[in-house]
Protein backbone atom coordinates (compact mmCIF):
# COMPACT_ATOMS: atom_id res chain seq x y z
CA UNK A 1 0.00 0.00 0.00
CA UNK A 2 1.35 3.41 -1.02
CA UNK A 3 2.44 5.85 1.66
CA UNK A 4 2.37 9.29 0.14
CA UNK A 5 3.79 12.52 1.57
CA UNK A 6 3.33 15.99 0.08
CA UNK A 7 5.35 19.11 0.74
CA UNK A 8 2.63 21.18 2.45
CA UNK A 9 0.37 18.90 4.47
CA UNK A 10 -1.62 21.74 6.09
CA UNK A 11 -2.41 23.22 2.68
CA UNK A 12 -5.11 22.06 0.31
CA UNK A 13 -3.93 19.06 -1.66
CA UNK A 14 -4.97 21.02 -4.74
CA UNK A 15 -2.68 23.98 -4.03
CA UNK A 16 -0.28 24.40 -6.98
CA UNK A 17 2.77 24.41 -4.66
CA UNK A 18 1.77 21.23 -2.83
CA UNK A 19 4.07 18.69 -4.50
CA UNK A 20 4.70 14.98 -3.97
CA UNK A 21 7.98 14.52 -2.10
CA UNK A 22 7.73 10.80 -1.33
CA UNK A 23 5.99 7.66 -2.59
CA UNK A 24 6.84 4.65 -0.46
CA UNK A 25 5.72 1.01 -0.66
CA UNK A 26 8.21 -1.14 1.25
CA UNK A 27 10.83 0.65 -0.85
CA UNK A 28 11.01 4.22 -2.11
CA UNK A 29 9.18 4.39 -5.45
CA UNK A 30 9.62 8.12 -5.90
CA UNK A 31 11.38 10.86 -3.94
CA UNK A 32 11.86 14.54 -4.71
CA UNK A 33 13.02 16.62 -1.76
CA UNK A 34 16.12 18.40 -0.50
CA UNK A 35 18.35 15.39 0.01
CA UNK A 36 17.02 12.80 -2.38
CA UNK A 37 15.75 12.53 -5.92
CA UNK A 38 14.82 9.07 -7.07
CA UNK A 39 12.46 7.34 -9.48
CA UNK A 40 9.60 8.67 -11.58
CA UNK A 41 5.83 8.86 -11.17
CA UNK A 42 4.45 5.88 -13.09
CA UNK A 43 1.36 6.93 -15.07
CA UNK A 44 0.48 3.30 -15.85
CA UNK A 45 0.69 1.84 -12.33
CA UNK A 46 -2.37 1.44 -10.08
CA UNK A 47 -1.56 3.06 -6.73
CA UNK A 48 -3.49 2.00 -3.62
CA UNK A 49 -3.37 4.65 -0.91
CA UNK A 50 -5.40 7.23 1.02
CA UNK A 51 -4.82 10.52 -0.82
CA UNK A 52 -7.08 10.55 -3.88
CA UNK A 53 -6.69 14.32 -4.43
CA UNK A 54 -2.94 14.10 -4.89
CA UNK A 55 -3.26 11.07 -7.16
CA UNK A 56 -5.76 12.89 -9.39
CA UNK A 57 -3.78 16.14 -9.40
CA UNK A 58 -0.74 14.23 -10.68
CA UNK A 59 -2.74 12.22 -13.22
CA UNK A 60 -2.05 8.87 -11.52
CA UNK A 61 -4.25 5.76 -11.54
CA UNK A 62 -5.36 5.02 -8.00
CA UNK A 63 -7.72 3.29 -5.59
CA UNK A 64 -8.29 5.23 -2.36
CA UNK A 65 -8.83 2.67 0.39
CA UNK A 66 -10.29 5.26 2.77
CA UNK A 67 -12.94 6.06 0.17
CA UNK A 68 -13.76 2.36 -0.28
CA UNK A 69 -13.91 1.83 3.49
CA UNK A 70 -16.14 4.89 3.85
CA UNK A 71 -18.71 3.60 1.37
CA UNK A 72 -18.68 0.20 3.10
CA UNK A 73 -18.80 1.38 6.74
CA UNK A 74 -19.50 5.16 6.66
CA UNK A 75 -16.10 5.97 8.15
CA UNK A 76 -12.48 6.09 7.09
CA UNK A 77 -10.07 3.49 8.40
CA UNK A 78 -6.77 5.38 8.36
CA UNK A 79 -6.22 8.83 9.82
CA UNK A 80 -2.88 10.56 10.21
CA UNK A 81 -2.60 13.61 12.46
CA UNK A 82 0.29 15.38 10.77
CA UNK A 83 0.13 18.50 12.91
CA UNK A 84 1.51 16.61 15.90
CA UNK A 85 4.95 16.24 14.38
CA UNK A 86 5.71 18.89 11.78
CA UNK A 87 5.20 22.49 10.76
CA UNK A 88 4.47 23.85 7.30
CA UNK A 89 7.96 25.27 6.91
CA UNK A 90 10.12 22.74 5.05
CA UNK A 91 9.39 19.98 7.55
CA UNK A 92 10.72 17.28 5.25
CA UNK A 93 14.21 18.67 5.62
CA UNK A 94 14.21 18.57 9.40
CA UNK A 95 12.18 15.47 10.22
CA UNK A 96 13.57 11.98 9.49
CA UNK A 97 11.65 10.13 6.83
CA UNK A 98 11.42 6.91 8.83
CA UNK A 99 9.47 8.76 11.55
CA UNK A 100 6.93 9.83 8.97
CA UNK A 101 6.71 6.23 7.78
CA UNK A 102 5.96 5.11 11.34
CA UNK A 103 3.05 7.54 11.49
CA UNK A 104 1.47 6.06 8.38
CA UNK A 105 2.20 2.40 8.98
CA UNK A 106 -0.97 0.84 7.57
CA UNK A 107 -1.63 -2.41 5.73
CA UNK A 108 -3.55 -3.41 2.62
CA UNK A 109 -7.27 -4.16 2.83
CA UNK A 110 -9.34 -6.83 1.12
CA UNK A 111 -12.65 -4.96 0.84
CA UNK A 112 -14.68 -5.85 -2.22
CA UNK A 113 -14.65 -3.25 -4.97
CA UNK A 114 -17.48 -4.01 -7.36
CA UNK A 115 -17.62 -2.33 -10.79
CA UNK A 116 -20.46 -0.15 -9.48
CA UNK A 117 -18.43 0.93 -6.44
CA UNK A 118 -15.37 1.53 -8.63
CA UNK A 119 -17.41 3.83 -10.90
CA UNK A 120 -18.82 5.72 -7.93
CA UNK A 121 -15.37 5.92 -6.33
CA UNK A 122 -13.84 7.39 -9.50
CA UNK A 123 -16.58 9.91 -10.29
CA UNK A 124 -17.01 11.13 -6.69
CA UNK A 125 -13.30 11.63 -6.12
CA UNK A 126 -12.80 13.35 -9.46
CA UNK A 127 -15.75 15.72 -9.00
CA UNK A 128 -14.56 17.19 -5.70
CA UNK A 129 -10.93 17.28 -6.72
CA UNK A 130 -11.72 19.25 -9.87
CA UNK A 131 -13.70 21.77 -7.81
CA UNK A 132 -10.71 22.17 -5.50
CA UNK A 133 -8.24 22.55 -8.36
CA UNK A 134 -10.16 25.61 -9.58
CA UNK A 135 -9.59 27.48 -6.33
CA UNK A 136 -11.75 30.43 -5.34
CA UNK A 137 -10.95 34.08 -6.01
CA UNK A 138 -10.15 36.32 -3.04
CA UNK A 139 -9.45 40.01 -2.49
CA UNK A 140 -7.64 42.17 0.08
CA UNK A 141 -10.54 41.89 2.52
CA UNK A 142 -9.29 38.38 3.25
CA UNK A 143 -6.36 39.69 5.33
CA UNK A 144 -8.33 42.28 7.29
CA UNK A 145 -11.06 39.74 8.03
CA UNK A 146 -9.14 36.54 8.80
CA UNK A 147 -5.60 37.75 9.52
CA UNK A 148 -2.21 37.53 7.83
CA UNK A 149 -1.79 33.82 8.58
CA UNK A 150 -4.29 33.06 5.80
CA UNK A 151 -2.21 34.87 3.17
CA UNK A 152 0.23 31.98 2.76
CA UNK A 153 -2.55 29.79 1.39
CA UNK A 154 -3.28 32.23 -1.47
CA UNK A 155 -1.81 31.56 -4.91
CA UNK A 156 -2.44 33.74 -7.97
CA UNK A 157 -5.36 35.52 -6.24
CA UNK A 158 -6.98 32.20 -5.35
CA UNK A 159 -7.53 30.33 -2.11
CA UNK A 160 -7.45 26.55 -2.33
CA UNK A 161 -9.68 24.72 0.12
CA UNK A 162 -10.20 21.15 1.34
CA UNK A 163 -13.42 19.35 0.54
CA UNK A 164 -14.07 16.45 2.89
CA UNK A 165 -16.93 14.06 2.26
CA UNK A 166 -15.88 11.66 5.03
CA UNK A 167 -18.70 12.92 7.25
CA UNK A 168 -21.57 11.20 9.04
CA UNK A 169 -24.06 12.54 6.52
CA UNK A 170 -21.83 12.32 3.41
CA UNK A 171 -22.49 16.06 3.10
CA UNK A 172 -19.06 17.52 2.27
CA UNK A 173 -17.43 20.01 4.57
CA UNK A 174 -15.10 22.62 3.11
CA UNK A 175 -12.39 24.42 5.06
CA UNK A 176 -8.76 25.43 5.27
CA UNK A 177 -6.86 26.16 8.49
CA UNK A 178 -10.06 26.29 10.59
CA UNK A 179 -11.73 28.62 8.08
CA UNK A 180 -15.08 26.95 7.39
CA UNK A 181 -16.37 27.87 3.94
CA UNK A 182 -19.78 26.39 4.72
CA UNK A 183 -20.46 28.79 7.61
CA UNK A 184 -19.52 32.22 6.25
CA UNK A 185 -21.41 35.31 7.33
CA UNK A 186 -22.37 37.94 4.72
CA UNK A 187 -19.45 40.04 6.01
CA UNK A 188 -17.00 37.16 5.52
CA UNK A 189 -18.23 36.59 1.99
CA UNK A 190 -16.94 40.01 0.98
CA UNK A 191 -13.45 38.44 1.00
CA UNK A 192 -14.25 36.40 -2.10
CA UNK A 193 -14.39 37.78 -5.63
CA UNK A 194 -15.22 35.70 -8.70
CA UNK A 195 -12.46 35.58 -11.28
CA UNK A 196 -14.87 34.65 -14.06
CA UNK A 197 -17.58 37.31 -13.51
CA UNK A 198 -20.09 35.66 -11.14
CA UNK A 199 -20.60 33.24 -8.27
CA UNK A 200 -23.52 30.83 -8.62
CA UNK A 201 -25.14 29.38 -5.51
CA UNK A 202 -27.18 26.18 -5.53
CA UNK A 203 -29.45 25.34 -2.62
CA UNK A 204 -31.45 22.10 -2.67
CA UNK A 205 -34.55 21.82 -0.51
CA UNK A 206 -34.18 19.01 2.04
CA UNK A 207 -31.78 17.09 -0.15
CA UNK A 208 -31.04 14.31 2.34
CA UNK A 209 -34.65 13.57 3.37
CA UNK A 210 -35.61 13.53 -0.31
CA UNK A 211 -32.82 11.09 -1.17
CA UNK A 212 -33.69 8.80 1.72
CA UNK A 213 -37.39 9.02 0.90
CA UNK A 214 -36.62 7.98 -2.65
CA UNK A 215 -34.54 5.02 -1.43
CA UNK A 216 -37.32 3.70 0.84
CA UNK A 217 -40.18 4.52 -1.54
CA UNK A 218 -41.72 7.38 0.46
CA UNK A 219 -43.28 10.18 -1.57
CA UNK A 220 -43.15 13.65 -0.10
CA UNK A 221 -45.58 16.38 -1.13
CA UNK A 222 -44.61 18.92 -3.78
CA UNK A 223 -44.10 21.61 -1.13
CA UNK A 224 -41.06 22.21 1.13
CA UNK A 225 -40.07 18.97 2.82
CA UNK A 226 -38.80 20.56 6.05
CA UNK A 227 -42.12 22.36 6.41
CA UNK A 228 -43.95 19.09 5.83
CA UNK A 229 -41.89 17.23 8.43
CA UNK A 230 -42.12 20.06 10.96
CA UNK A 231 -45.91 19.87 10.73
CA UNK A 232 -45.64 16.15 11.48
CA UNK A 233 -43.52 16.90 14.58
CA UNK A 234 -45.80 19.72 15.70
CA UNK A 235 -42.98 22.30 15.88
CA UNK A 236 -41.82 25.33 13.88
CA UNK A 237 -39.56 24.82 10.89
CA UNK A 238 -36.29 25.76 12.66
CA UNK A 239 -36.86 23.17 15.38
CA UNK A 240 -38.15 20.76 12.75
CA UNK A 241 -34.90 20.88 10.76
CA UNK A 242 -32.91 20.14 13.91
CA UNK A 243 -35.16 17.20 14.78
CA UNK A 244 -34.95 15.79 11.26
CA UNK A 245 -31.15 15.67 11.27
CA UNK A 246 -31.11 14.28 14.80
CA UNK A 247 -33.45 11.51 13.73
CA UNK A 248 -31.35 10.77 10.66
CA UNK A 249 -27.82 11.04 12.03
CA UNK A 250 -27.62 12.00 15.69
CA UNK A 251 -30.00 9.80 17.62
CA UNK A 252 -33.53 10.41 18.94
CA UNK A 253 -33.89 14.00 20.24
The pLDDT assigned to 100 comes to 65
Q: What is the pLDDT of residue 67?
A: 92
pLDDT in tens, 102-119: 666 666 667 788 998 899
pLDDT (tens digit, 9 = 90+) per residue, 182-225?
778 888 889 999 888 788 888 888 888 998 999 999 988 888 99
In Å, what is the CA distance from 85 to each residue of 10, 12, 70, 91, 112? Answer: 12, 18, 26, 9, 34
pTM of the model: 0.78
| Most confident segment among 105-119, 139-153, 197-211, 226-240 | 226-240
Amino acid sequence: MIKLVTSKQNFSKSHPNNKIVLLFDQDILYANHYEKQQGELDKEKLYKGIDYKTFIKNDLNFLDLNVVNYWHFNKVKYEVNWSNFYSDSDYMYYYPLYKIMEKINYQDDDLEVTPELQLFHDEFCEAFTKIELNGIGVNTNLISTFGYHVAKYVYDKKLYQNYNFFTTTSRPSNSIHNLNFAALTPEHRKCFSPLNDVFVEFDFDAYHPRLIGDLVGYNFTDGPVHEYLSDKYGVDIDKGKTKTFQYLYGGIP
